[in-house]
């Protein structure tokens, strides 16, 4: 684990304050260029990150690179859920739901309780809706049974009682509410903590490093040529095995290996809206739109998250965006169960869209299986695509297992330690967030006096015990204890920490993925300029 130290305060120039940081980009490029790795993972979404984490834990020499930021695309554009998959029950996928529940509970309770939390869901059943109360009551009971009733017993609730927990619930024609439990997270923070776990285990990681070509030795892929998108420096990485985990771009990289490679995936666009909340919600809404689709209204980061859409996407993955059609659809579908006062357009602070990677084939994307597919190309490059956030640990293990079993790979014998890895290996900062928050606010025990309750809660639930390092930095440098924006819980010490310890390179890296300023609609030009100034003082 990296040891953090502080440099002396510079009262005249607060932007000069910094941690003793991880290796800078030049040092990391040199390390990447001068080492032959067992495994090079191309793609810093959660599939690539999880594989790099597990591979490093198994003792392999691992490199992880991404052309953008870690979790910069689909992995930070999810519905922020760790869930068993209630809708899978109607397809008879009982085993899949049970496996998803196992992973969800493991992450929420043993792996990252500081980054995720249980969340109660209400499934409103309206007159003339696609499902009956009896069916939904039986469904949520079976769903909770597959979770060993760890989140309570699924049941039906009186609409009046449901309205007490969700004031904005529309009760016209509401017959009953089915209740079940799942979990929620901040996907960007979860991904970044997993990158940190991989790096702490020995992986060499570098974001904003674009692959410009693959390296070959005797017809086999043996590395990649890269360009640092921050300063244009070109360099290369050699590896015994290369894993293509580039998500929506997986076929682009496969064609670098084999120009004639057939398409292997199709893409489904999922759009979301973030709105200011008009009331406090104690539960989330999961509203059936038809037999197969559900729309969510989720209390998240003190806001309300609405979505998602599900439609086939054939454009450039780098240009996916929320359209007016998406906004209208999301608001219209949310209106099935949410009162119109909460759905006013002026309450929207942010919108985002991501791409689900689905196996190629016919049929509606809404009905397609969210399965993970690992394939081997003509030049020996492995490609992994698909999967769900909920099972990110399982996917990392699955890729490693397939790698060990494939003939012709020299690193299979070196992966024996993989079998001995703890099944619930925690992420950095693991702690009870309530205890962290209490200590941050306690008299005498807090490293930063006069810390606001909302800031203490935010630090505890986004960093766990690492929150004490950030609070200590702010305590030693009072200018960094100031809020980034008066309407958000973040403080400037988080920006310095993101720069020095979390690989933040751009204002978007900081404001969109390492903090919540962008999703709150608070990333003003003045704030972006000051963040850029801090980033320039590396």
- Contacts of residue 111, defined as CB under 8 A and 6 or more positions apart, other chains included, come to 393, 424, 425, 426, 427, 430
Q: What is the pLDDT along the chain (538 residues), one digit of tens a residue?
A: 333 343 333 444 545 565 556 789 999 999 999 999 999 999 999 999 999 999 999 889 999 999 999 999 999 999 999 999 998 888 888 988 999 999 999 999 999 999 999 999 999 999 999 999 999 999 999 999 999 999 999 999 999 999 999 999 999 999 999 999 999 999 999 999 999 999 999 999 999 999 999 999 999 999 999 999 999 999 999 999 999 999 999 999 999 999 999 999 999 999 999 999 999 999 999 999 988 889 999 999 999 999 999 999 999 999 999 999 999 999 999 999 999 999 999 999 999 999 999 987 445 555 555 568 888 999 999 999 988 899 999 999 888 888 887 776 666 555 555 555 656 789 999 999 999 999 999 876 677 878 999 999 999 999 999 999 999 999 999 999 999 999 999 999 999 999 999 999 999 999 999 999 999 999 999 999 999 999 998 7
Q: Angle of helix 453-463 relative to helix 467-476, nearest 10 degrees?
A: 130
Domains of the chain listed by start with CATH number: 25-74+189-263+368-413 (3.50.50.60), 81-185+266-355 (3.30.9.10), 433-536 (no CATH)
Write down the pTM of the prediction.
0.93
- Give the H/E segment covering residue 112: none
Contacts 24+ apart (CB under 8 A), 131-138: 131/288, 131/291, 133/175, 133/176, 133/178, 136/176, 136/178, 137/176, 137/178
Q: DSSP states of 214-268 as a string?
A: EEEETTEEEEEEEEETTT--EEEEEEEEEEE--GGGHHHHHHHH-TTPPP-EEEE
Contact 70, 194 (CB under 8 A): no
C-alpha–C-alpha distance, residues 141 and 350, integer Å: 35
Specify which residues 37 forms β-bridges with. 239
Whole-angstrom distance, CA of residue 178 vs CA of residue 337: 13
């Amino acid at each position: 684990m990296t040891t953090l130290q502080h440099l002396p305060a510079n009262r005249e120039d607060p932007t000069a304050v910094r941690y003793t940081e991880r290796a800078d980009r030049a040092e990391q490029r040199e390390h990447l260029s001068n080492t032959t790795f067992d495994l090079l993972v191309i793609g810093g979404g959660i599939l690539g990150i999880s594989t790099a984490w597990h591979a490093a834990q198994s003792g392999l020499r691992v490199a992880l690179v991404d052309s953008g930021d870690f979790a910069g695309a689909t992995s930070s554009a999810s519905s922020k859920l760790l869930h068993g998959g209630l809708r899978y029950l109607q397809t008879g996928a009982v085993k899949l739901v049970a496996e998803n529940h196992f992973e969800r509970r493991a992450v929420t309770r043993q792996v990252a309780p500081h980054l995720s939390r249980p969340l109660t869901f209400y499934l409103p059943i309206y007159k003339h809706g696609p499902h009956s109360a009896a069916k939904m009551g039986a469904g949520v009971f079976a769903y909770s049974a597959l979770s060993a009733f760890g989140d309570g017993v699924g049941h039906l609730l009186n609409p009046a009682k449901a309205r007490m927990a969700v004031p904005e619930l529309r009760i016209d024609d509401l017959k009953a509410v089915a209740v079940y439990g799942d979990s929620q997270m901040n996907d960007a923070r979860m991904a970044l903590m997993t990158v940190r776990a991989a790096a702490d285990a020995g992986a060499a990681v570098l974001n904003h490093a674009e692959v410009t070509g693959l390296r070959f030795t005797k017809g086999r892929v043996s590395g990649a040529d890269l360009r640092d998108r921050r300063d244009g420096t070109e360099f290369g990485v050699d590896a015994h095995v290369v894993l293509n985990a580039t998500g929506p771009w997986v076929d682009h990289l496969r064609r670098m290996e084999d120009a004639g490679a057939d398409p292997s995936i199709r893409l489904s666009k999922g759009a979301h809206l973030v709105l200011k909340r008009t009331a406090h919600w104690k539960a989330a809404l999961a509203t059936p739109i038809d037999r197969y689709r559900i729309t969510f209204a989720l209390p998240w980061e003190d806001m309300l998250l609405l979505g998602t859409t599900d439609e086939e996407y054939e454009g450039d993955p780098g240009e996916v965006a929320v359209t007016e059609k998406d906004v209208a659809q999301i608001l219209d579908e949310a209106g099935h169960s949410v009162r119109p006062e909460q759905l006013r357009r002026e309450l929207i602070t942010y919108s985002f869209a991501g791409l689900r990677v689905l196996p190629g084939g016919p049929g509606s994307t809404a009905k397609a299986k969210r399965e993970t597919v690992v394939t081997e190309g003509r030049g020996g490059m492995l490609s992994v695509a698909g999967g769900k956030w909920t099972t990110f640990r399982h996917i990392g293990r699955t890729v490693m297992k397939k790698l060990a079993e494939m003939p012709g790979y020299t690193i299979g014998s070196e992966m024996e330690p993989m079998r001995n890895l703890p099944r619930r290996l925690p992420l950095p900062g693991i702690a009870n967030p309530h205890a962290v928050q209490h200590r941050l606010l306690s008299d005498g025990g807090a490293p930063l006096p006069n810390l606001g309750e909302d800031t203490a809660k935010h630090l505890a639930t986004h960093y766990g015990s690492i929150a004490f390092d950030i609070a200590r930095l702010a305590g030693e440098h009072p200018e960094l204890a100031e809020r980034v924006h008066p309407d958000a819980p973040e403080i400037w010490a988080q920006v310095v920490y993101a720069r020095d310890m979390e690989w933040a390179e751009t204002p978007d890296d900081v404001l969109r993925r390492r903090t919540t300023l962008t999703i709150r609609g608070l990333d003003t030009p003045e704030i972006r300029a000051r963040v850029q100034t801090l980033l320039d003082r590396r």
